[in-house]
Structure 1
Amino acid sequence: MDELIDILDSDGNATGKTALKSEAHRKGLFHPTVHIWFYTQNGQILLQQRSKNKDVFPLLWDVSVAGHIGAGESIEISAIREIEEEIGLTVHPEALDKIGVFKSVHRHSEHLIDCEYHHTFLCELKVPLHQLKKQESEVEDLALQSLLQFSQETWGLANPQKYVPHSTEYYKTIIKEIKRRL
């Protein structure tokens, strides 16, 4: 779905401009997104397998919930909206624990360049996996994986064809921040 999004400069500052998401991706314009990583108290992380119909990284495993922030939309409201849409879970803003903003650039093709700033949150998953309702158009599957296995497969990139290729530093930060909360 194409939507109007805010455009940022290369340092992540608001420019006051907006563009359609398709235009931002075509031109490589920086824009904000949300990433929400869910974890359980017994040391598991919720992973989302991207839909087979996605333009980029179809069927690869990725962040629990992610999405674009609509133009003028607050970061927290966007995160809550994306959680509701993608996994059918209602979360209150105080449950979101922001751990940082991460710059990401992926040049998929000449006409598809993702230049994003990921506003990244952790959130404890307090319901069983079977109670989540995946958004069929976006999510192929959901799975809980042990933090240990996830760290082994992403830190050393032992299984790079399985995951969206975020930087190793990004994955290390997520894992370390979750471990601090267990």
Structure 2
Amino acid sequence: MDELIDILNADGVPLGKTAMKSKAHKKGLFHATVHIWFYTEDGKLLIQKRTTNKDTHPGLWDVSVAGHIGSGESIIDSAIREVQEEIGLAITGIELKKIGVFKSIQKHSEELIDCEFHHTFLSRLKIPMEKLIRQKSEIDDLKLISNNQFEQELNDKVLAKQYVPHSIEYYTKILNEIRQLR
């Protein structure tokens, strides 16, 4: 779905300009996204398998919930909205722990360049995974994976290919932060 988003400079500062998401991706314009990683008390992460019709990284496993921040929308409101849309879970801002903002540049093709700042949060999954309602247009599957297995698979050159290729620093930060919360 195309949407109006705010454009940022290469340092993440708003430029006071907007563009449709499709145009931002086509021209490689910086913009903001939210990433929300859900974890369980017993040391598991909720991950989603992207649908095979996605423009970027189709069919790969990724962050629990992610999405673009709409023009004029607050970061927290965007995170709450994306969680509701993608997995049918109503949360509040107090349930989100922000762990950082990660700059990401991925050139998928001449016509698709992702230049994003991922505002990244952790949140404890308080209900059974079976009660989540996945957004079928975005997500093919949801699963829980242990932190240890996730880390092992990311460090295996063959198994790592099933995941969206975020930087190892990004994934390491996620795992370390979750370990500290348990």
Structure 2 equivalent of residue 113 of structure 1: 113
Deviations 1:30-81 (CA, angstroms, capped at 9, x unpaired): 0000000000000000000001110111110000000000000000000000
Distance 1:62 1:127 in 2: 20
Distance 1:61 1:50 in 2: 6
Distance 1:87 1:171 in 2: 21
Amino acid across the alignment from 1:4: L
Q: Secondary structure at the match of 2:161?
A: coil
Q: Secondary structure at the match of 1:103?
A: strand
Distance 2:159 2:175 in 1: 16
Structure 1, unmatched stretches of 5+, are none
Structure 2, unmatched stretches of 5+, are none
Closer, same or farther: CA 125–165 of 1 in aligned 2, 3 Å: same
Q: TM-score, normalised by structure 2?
A: 0.98
Contact 1:152 1:158 in 2 (8 A): no
Structure 1 equivalent of residue 129 of structure 2: 129
The total of aligned residue pairs comes to 182
Structure 1 equivalent of residue 180 of structure 2: 180
Contact 1:155 1:172 in 2 (8 A): no
Distance 1:115 1:6 in 2: 12
Closer, same or farther: CA 127–55 of 1 in aligned 2, 3 Å: same
Distance 1:84 1:157 in 2: 34
Structure 1 equivalent of residue 170 of structure 2: 170
Shift of 1:160: 2.0
Shift of 1:153: 1.3
Shift of 1:158: 5.2
Structure 2 equivalent of residue 86 of structure 1: 86
Distance 1:17 1:134 in 2: 33
Distance 2:11 2:42 in 1: 37
Residue 75 (str. 1) matches residue 75 (str. 2): yes
Q: Secondary structure at the match of 1:174?
A: helix
Where do 4+ consecutive residues of structure 1 move more than 2 Å?
A: 155-158
Shift of 1:161: 1.4
Structure 2 equivalent of residue 3 of structure 1: 3
What is the root-mean-square deviation in Å for CA atoms of aligned residues?
Answer: 0.8
Identical-pair percentage: 61
